[in-house]
Amino acid sequence: MTEKQTFPAATVAGYPRIGANRELKRSLEHYWGQKIDRATFDTQINQQLTTRIDHLKDLGLTEPGSNPGDFVLYDQVLTLTCALGAVPQRFGNLVRPDGSLDVDGEFTLARGVDDKAALEMTKWFDTNYHYLVPEIGPYTQISAVANPWLEQVKVGGSALRPVLIGPVTYLLGAKASADAPTHFQPLQRLDAVLAGFEVFLSQFAAAGVTWVQLDEPALVCDTWSTSREEVLEVARKTYEFLSKLTNRPQIFVNAPYGPLGLDGLNVLTATDVEAIGLDLVAGPVPSPADLKTIGDKTLVAGIVSGRNVWRTDLRQALATLQAIHQVVPNLSVSTSTSLQHVPHDAAVETSLDPQVRSWLAFADQKIAEVQTLARGLADPNSITAELAENAEILASRANHPGVKRAEVRQATAAVTVADRTRDPYPQRLAAQAEILQLPLLPTTTIGSFPQTTEIRQARAAFRRHEIDEAQYDEEIRNEIARVVKLQEDLGLDVLVHGEAERNDMVQFFAENLEGFATTEHGWVQSYGSRCTRPSILWGDVTRSHPITVEWSTYAQSLTTKPMKGMLTGPVTIMAWSFVRDDESRAEVADQLGLALRDEIADLNAAGIKIVQVDEPAIRELLPLRAAGREQYLQWSVGAFRLATGGAPKELQIHTHLCYSEFNVVVDAIDHLDADVTSIEASRSKMDILPAVHEHGFERGLGPGIWDIHSPRVPKLDEEVGLLEKAVAALDPQQVWVNPDCGLKTRAYAETVATLENLVGAAKAVRAKLEA
């Protein structure tokens, strides 16, 4: 065992890695685009790593083990997959004789190549971050073949605390490889993973690491297909084994994103791990009696939210910490989750309303908060000034007139069940069939077309006042006309306007609704090099003017085919924004629902015949604990139905969801009561279909046949194959043909090639069905 070292008084569970100016994104994309060579890429990455560690030290994370070593190139789960050499068979040629991959190999797993599909991507717990799902089979090679964290230790020295995904979460988050027998579960490979961790830990010990952090969010979740008892038994086995090792640093097991629960806590306290982290923001604070079992282990209190952007109520947080301290002698202060979910620094948001900005804490402000709280815990008198300033800021927020508007509250209070109910589906189906006159297996896309450089430049120029609104509108108009023409040439049946005017599907609405603020630099990693800039929903929401009607009607005027109006749903607007923490989510969702309801009424009045309300995020906000799910689905589905419930039966309502665990939410999707639902399915090879069939889902369904998250162009027969699976499993009358998701991130070349194949596949299968 390495030298005993008390756990740092203040730390954070993780820090953004994308870089304050998105340096990582740029390096990755330049390298992939062959604008820089490997040596330059390596230099840039080393530079970023050093800058990050130094920056955290400048912010005060200098104590031994206080500086989180969670810098990875693409994804923290992928990093562990590569360190364990757990490479799926189809990528076997990338593996070097020692079992490891070079960075090109790592990127190939993430992005796919030729006919080899990338690892599947799935949302990380209830966040908007995507991880790459490991594929584990009975014979997958698993051993410690590389230790990328040592590089960070070399740079960070004793302050650095390597952060790894824990074995339980790694295996529960994995899926069985394609060649595994039917009942195989990745958890069966626990021993191999533990052997790998034994090596990592001994390497850390040899490098003088004092603390290692193992993230086990799997333990806050009781909705795995594996029972809670079994999950906890695996956790017990894991941490008994790891903590009994003699050649290791001290172990900090962190349980972010939800309440660990007394059962989970007891499993960890019974082992010899030295520190346990609890998320005190997402879950209730355990009672003093429950915390007693911690004994002389360190409790790392995740009291500052790693998920939202609001200043912590320091007085309240300090009181909570003090109460815990009564029963837990070794108490440290941290964030509830990694700060990878928030932007770097609120101080640079100089174009935000200064009052709103004063309410905010991004990653760097949160680091200051944990330190203030740690000082206050040691000596409350040392932070009197900070507490006073904090109280003043919170009061200014509570008293701001936009925070609560009487007319909005009256409108949500007046909502009835009838407002959330449409005509019965059979009547809608008949009315819409008559108006739309669509062929069997109608083809469509999910909404966005590639955002060209010209459009991005025009938007930037408009923002900088280099072109005026008329010029900008002209660019958008031309782009829409081009996209409509392209779709007509391709032979698609239901067209879209392409969303050229939208920087982001949520931000666009946030910018056009009251109650939101948008940031300039507030980027957060979504996956790999992709980032989003979540808006900040701080007040009551109202719609003061129509938002999408002008562009949708213009696009419709260019074609006789139906043009889909395109809206983002209430739940997704919330999931991809930073939402106020001073109001129930149900209330906020209904406020958004009412605003969108007015927009749909305006689209309908303007002659639009199909409106798509995207809800890709419904699944990601699903509580990790089964007990919370019913209530969540009640308000989230309710808000969608409030938005769409005013649509007349002739108006076809589509929705779009992008993830493959259809079975988890098939009930909820059914309750959304949309006429047509499109959903991601291609990466998972259509394995959503049995769930649809079993459930008896009878409305329109478009299982995606093109994985748009990869630059790969699927061949025609591949798309025919996926589509044939769909028509075999469902009633062909139900089936729509579309890509997995919007095309915004794709290039035009691959878009056109793939859509040709998609239309070709629909025609081929249609011909067979009609023969």
**Is 499 known to sit in a ligand binding site?**
yes
Binding flag, residue 703, Zn ion (CB under 5 A): no
**Is 614 known to sit in a ligand binding site?**
yes
Binding flag, residue 505, Zn ion (CB under 5 A): no
Binding flag, residue 111, ligand GLN (CB under 6 A): no
**Is 25 known to sit in a ligand binding site?**
yes
What strands lie across the sheet with 536-542, from one edge to the other? 514-517, 536-542, 578-579
**Is 128 known to sit in a ligand binding site?**
yes
DSSP label at residue 220: G
For Zn ion, how many residues bind (rule: CB under 5 A)? 3
Binding flag, residue 446, ligand GLN (CB under 6 A): yes
Report the candidate in 23, 13, 71 with the shortest Cα–Cα distance to residue 529: 23
709 flagged as catalytic: yes
Q: Which of residues 504-523 bind ligand GLN (CB under 6 A)?
A: 505
List the one residue from 658, 688, 701, 726 that touches Zn ion (CB under 5 A): 658
Q: If contact means CB under 5 to 8 A according to the sort of partner, which of Zn ion, ligand GLN, none does residue 88 touch?
A: none
- Smaller CB distance to ligand GLN: residue 282 or 676? 676
Binding-site string for ligand GLN from residue 548 to residue 577, where x marks contact by CB under 6 A and - marks none:
------------------x-----------
Provide the minimum distance between the beta carbon of 525 and Zn ion in the complex, in angstroms, as a whole number: 18
| Contact (CB, 8 A) for 351 and 27 | no
Provide the minimum distance between the beta carbon of 499 and ligand GLN in the complex, in angstroms, as a whole number: 6
- Smaller CB distance to Zn ion: residue 562 or 616? 616
| Contact (CB, 8 A) for 67 and 156 | yes
**Is 770 known to sit in a ligand binding site?**
no
Q: If contact means CB under 5 to 8 A according to the sort of partner, which of ligand GLN, Zn ion, none does residue 614 touch?
A: ligand GLN
Provide the minimum distance between the beta carbon of 616 and ligand GLN in the complex, in angstroms, as a whole number: 4
**CB under 8 Å to 432, separation ≥6 — which residues?**
649, 650, 651, 652, 675
**Is 154 known to sit in a ligand binding site?**
no
List the one residue from 448, 487, 526, 553 that touches ligand GLN (CB under 6 A): 448
How far does CA 765 lie from the centroid of its chain?
35
- 671 token code pair: 């309750």
Binding flag, residue 173, ligand GLN (CB under 6 A): no
Crossing angle of helices 314-327 and 384-398, rounded to 10°: 130
Q: Which of 55, 497, 654, 709 is catalytic?
A: 709
Crossing angle of helices 549-557 and 469-490, rounded to 10°: 50
Neighbours of 544 (CB within 10 A): 9
**Is 123 known to sit in a ligand binding site?**
no
Provide the minimum distance between the beta carbon of 337 and ligand GLN in the complex, in angstroms, as a whole number: 23
Q: What does the alpha-carbon distance between residue 225 and residue 37 come to, in Å, rounded to a whole number?
A: 44
Sole window of 198-206, 221-229, 353-361, 613-621 interacting with Zn ion (rule: CB under 5 A): 613-621
Residue nearest to Zn ion (CB): 658
Crossing angle of helices 38-58 and 23-32, rounded to 10°: 170
- Smaller CB distance to ligand GLN: residue 55 or 683? 683
Binding flag, residue 2, ligand GLN (CB under 6 A): no
Binding flag, residue 616, Zn ion (CB under 5 A): yes
Q: If contact means CB under 5 to 8 A according to the sort of partner, which of Zn ion, ligand GLN, none does residue 94 touch?
A: none
For 94, 612, 662, the CA distances from 569, given in Å and listed in that order, are 42, 9, 18
Q: What does the alpha-carbon distance between residue 224 and residue 264 come to, in Å, rounded to a whole number?
A: 15
- Smaller CB distance to ligand GLN: residue 578 or 659? 659
Binding flag, residue 741, Zn ion (CB under 5 A): yes
Provide the minimum distance between the beta carbon of 741 and ligand GLN in the complex, in angstroms, as a whole number: 5
| Contact (CB, 8 A) for 620 and 658 | no
CA-angle at 581, arms to 371 and 258, nearest 5°: 70
Length of the chain: 771
**Is 530 known to sit in a ligand binding site?**
yes
| Contact (CB, 8 A) for 249 and 203 | no
CA-angle at 535, arms to 534 and 536, nearest 5°: 120
Q: What does the alpha-carbon distance between residue 86 and residue 284 come to, in Å, rounded to a whole number?
A: 37
- Smaller CB distance to ligand GLN: residue 505 or 755? 505
Neighbours of 399 (CB within 10 A): 9
**Binding positions for Zn(2+):** 656, 658, 680, 741
Q: What residues are annotated to the active site?
A: 709
User: Using CB under 5 A as the criterion, which residues of the chain lie in contact with Zn ion when the complex forms?
Assistant: 616, 658, 741
